[in-house]
Amino acid sequence: MKTLLATNAEILVTMDTERRELKNAGIYAEDGIIKKVGPVGELPQAADTVIDLSGQIVLPGFVNCHHHLNQTLTRCLPAAQNNNLFPWLQAQYRIWARITPEASRLSALVGLAELALSGCTTVFDHTYLFKNGNSADCLIDAAREIGIRFHCSRGSMSLGESRGGLPPDDCVEDEDFILKDTQRVIETYHDASHGAMTRIVVAPCAPFTVTPELLKESAALARHYKVGLHTHLCETLDEERYTLSRFGMRPVEWMETVDWLGEDVWFAHAIHVDDDEIRHFARCGCGAAHCPSSNMRLASGIAPIKKYMEAGVNVGLGVDGSASNDSSNMMQEVRAAFLLARLKMGLRPPEGPAKYMHLSPSHPKRSNEWMTARETLELATLGGARVLGRGDIGAIAEGMCADFFSLDLHTVDFAGALHDPVAAVVFCAPQKARYTVVNGRVVVDQGRMATVDLMPVIEQHNRWSIGIANDV
């Protein structure tokens, strides 16, 4: 039995059922499962691994609900810097199709390390372009090397330009092969047990890259194996125009016709939805992965996150691809979600005589319209866990996985903000994790990766990045 004691935390944010925030507290875990949370004096005093968290705030590990790890290879690509979604994708499809297994592994190591250094302990990756020998296997191997909890998609694209899709024909796959390989990946890697480190998700790319038949077959396959379903939806108005012109329906309505609404489904972005569609998501149990930085970068729009929350829709956060973000930093994404939700609230039509509203310090009039710092942290932890269908992560509580991270409170960045250290995590500039622990294992130790030597990875990654972009 391996034991872990994390002790002397200045503040410990549990996200448990009582939302306790404990002072001078710690965590004791055995074999990756939390056994005790509480004041230092109530914890065991010894363990195989002991972490001194003096002067630090501890939070549950962040859950990243939507990412494209291979895209670390095409960050700030000149041809894609000033585009919205469709031309941005078209500028990169053929580059991504050149990614080899080794390049894919390196891209995943870079993205996962950056996530771990920003407090992320669980990652969903939506890779959907598997050409040139690339596969889900090398992504899973990279996640195991880093030591992060990993939900991996066997994504897909099957509808090329000649058949009315967006991707070039040489970037799509045969649908029979897609389904066969998806089945292989599920049977080889999916672990449904409590505390599982690896789970598989069936994830066709988007309505404009796959056929209705593949969507239906993918849904049936996922439900046979009881795994999650994920795709992009309602990200841009271009997508809405696509489904209206091709199927005569808005995206949400059309997805229902191919069996894609249910509590095992979550959609990336889900920006351009109306109130009826939000209520329908709530009734069906669909979740949403909010990706604020990417949505701003590609000028896609602002997702109605507070409306989702008020309706009871499960919402988590995602950094999205590192070529549309262009980082893999969950701390940054938390702050962006917080600020963008407040901006969205401020754009609502004012109540009462408009000419006086700019003088009223009470606008908005209902306090629950504000996105609070603690609500945003909950989206990044418990919210993400719900979206991924997990009850064993997202909180620091007995019986939960020992996934958490810490930040040093006594830095120049937090100076003057310790009136409320929990809110400071969101209001102030994003910080790097001091420690990140996944399944009871220290992955980030005093601000540095403990599992992988990053320097040679970065050097090799940069060579691949330049090489595949220049060869297209």
**Is 471 within a domain?**
no
281 and 139 in one domain? yes
pLDDT digits (tens, 9 = 90+) for 300-316: 999 999 999 999 999 99
**Rounded mean pLDDT, 4-8:** 98
* Statement: residue 177 has pLDDT above 90: yes
pLDDT at 361: 43
How many structural domains does the chain have?
Answer: 2
396 and 281 in one domain? no
**Rounded mean pLDDT, 58-78:** 97
306 and 219 in one domain? yes
**Is 353 within a domain?**
no
153 and 21 in one domain? no
**Is 379 within a domain?**
no
pTM (whole model) above 0.85? yes
Phi first, then psi, for residue 73 (nearest 5°) are: -75, -15
The confidence band for 197, taking pLDDT boundaries of 50, 70 and 90, is very high
How far is CA 383 from each of CA 341, 366, 389, 396, rounded to the nearest angstrom? 15, 23, 10, 14
The confidence band for 19, taking pLDDT boundaries of 50, 70 and 90, is very high
* Statement: residue 99 has pLDDT above 80: yes
437 and 409 in one domain? yes
**Is 425 within a domain?**
yes
Task: List the CATH number of the domain containing 74.
Answer: 3.20.20.140
The confidence band for 348, taking pLDDT boundaries of 50, 70 and 90, is low
Residue partners of 412: CB distance under 8 A and separation at least 6: none
**Is 297 within a domain?**
yes
Nearest C-alpha neighbor of 84 from the set 229, 236, 276, 307:
236
Out of 276, 311, 346, a domain closes at 346
The pLDDT > 90 percentage for the chain reads 93
* Statement: residue 357 has pLDDT above 50: no
* Statement: residue 346 has pLDDT above 90: no
285 and 425 in one domain? no
* DSSP label at residue 12: E
Find the domain containing 25 and state its range: 3-60+392-449
Q: Which helix (H) or strand (E) holds 435?
A: strand 435-438
* Contact by Cβ (8 Å): 438, 6: no
Task: List the CATH number of the domain containing 48.
Answer: 2.30.40.10
**Rounded mean pLDDT, 78-97:** 94
216 and 146 in one domain? yes
29 and 75 in one domain? no
Out of 346, 367, 382, a domain closes at 346
**Is 303 within a domain?**
yes
pLDDT at 352: 47
Produce one character per residue of 402-440: b if its CB has 16 or more CB atoms within 10 Å, e if not: bbbbbbbbeeeebeeeeeebebbbbebebbbbbbbbbbb
* Statement: residue 353 has pLDDT above 70: no
Least confident of 220-229, 367-376, 426-435: 367-376
**Is 293 within a domain?**
yes
Say if strands 49-52 and 265-269 run parallel, antiparallel, or are unpaired.
unpaired
The confidence band for 356, taking pLDDT boundaries of 50, 70 and 90, is very low
55 and 95 in one domain? no
pLDDT digits (tens, 9 = 90+) for 39-66: 999 999 999 999 999 999 999 999 999 9
254 and 119 in one domain? yes
318 and 238 in one domain? yes
Least confident of 240-249, 272-281, 353-362, 395-404: 353-362
32 and 11 in one domain? yes
**Is 164 within a domain?**
yes
Report d(CA 112, CA 367) in Å as an integer: 37
Nearest C-alpha neighbor of 438 from the set 201, 138, 198:
198
pLDDT digits (tens, 9 = 90+) for 227-270: 999 999 999 999 999 999 999 999 999 999 999 999 999 999 99
* Statement: residue 17 has pLDDT above 50: yes
